[in-house]
Structure formats: structure tokens, C-alpha cells
Amino acid sequence: MKRKSILWFCLLCLALPLCAARVDTLQVKSASMNKEVQVVVIAPDVALGNSPVPSPVVYLLHGYGGNAKTWIGIKPELPRIADEKGMIFVCPDGKQSWYWDSPVDSTSRYETFISKELIAYIDSHYATIADRKARAITGLSMGGHGALWNALRHKEVFGAAGSTSGGVD
């Protein structure tokens, strides 16, 4: 009976999909805002370890009222998708900023954070393809607005952009 249980356990382990993507919750320093910003990064197995393979990156921006963990809640299969597609997902907390730089509040410079500081941080701490051709930005609602805003204003940074129900009035 014991051998049979061990055999079933081994077969079950072989049948389970191998998902080794890592989900990191980070605090990334923003010099322009003089504060730390929470960021969730989902990195595929191929981009981790001793011989990482550089991977494309998709920046996912949450909607109004969301935070850095919103996308992993909306799409809990992101780690599996990261492994399947060999891509990194980056989900920053944009507060209620609309992902642009406030002209009156120096602690709200999310365009600068996303398009400069966060890109530099991710490219220096993860195995990315550090080129606009391998970097996309998209978002939901307020995040859709922020994705298009940042992509249009920083064409040298993002090679693709999307917006789902974006507030683009």
C-alpha cells in the first residue's frame, strides 16, 4: 500500500504543470517623488537563475482605486502566462495619479517614475530585453489612460501600448 501511495504521488507531481515564475513585491525608490513606490513583478522561470534568458516586459497599470496588487488579483494566472510566454509583467502602484506628473504636487510624478525610474530599475534588476521593441505598456481604465499617455510621450521607451476601457477623453 505504501508503494502504491508513493507511485501515485510521483505521478501526480509529474502531471502538475511546472510553474516556476516568481512574484516579487518590491519597494522601488523614486528620486523624482522622494518616496518608495510598491511594485509587483512577475518574472518567468527563464529570466531567473544562473543563466537567465533576457525577456520582454509588459507594464500593467491599474485603474482608479487600485494598487500594485490589482492585476495579480484580476488575473491570478499571470505567473503561468509569464512562464508560457517567457515575459515579465510589472505592476506599479500609481495611486490615483492618472500616471502623469502633477504640475502642483511634487510627490505625484508618476509619468517620470514609470517611463524613466521604473524602466531603469527593472532593466538593471531583471533579465530584460532592454529595448523599446521588447517593452509594452497597457492598463485598465485610469491605467489605460496612463498607458497611452506614457507611450505617446515616450516613444523611445515603449514599442507597443494598449488600453482597456481607458479614460482617454
Answer whether 156's CB lies under 8 Å from 132's CB. Answer: yes
Segment 75-119, tens digit of pLDDT: 999 999 999 999 999 999 999 999 999 999 999 999 999 999 999
**pTM metric for this prediction:** 0.89
Segment 107-163, tens digit of pLDDT: 999 999 999 999 999 999 999 999 999 999 999 999 999 999 999 999 999 999 999
Domains of the chain: 19-161 (3.40.50.1820)
Q: Show the CA angle centred on residue 125, arms to residues 54 and 53, nearest 5°.
A: 15
Answer whether 137's CB lies under 8 Å from 61's CB. Answer: yes
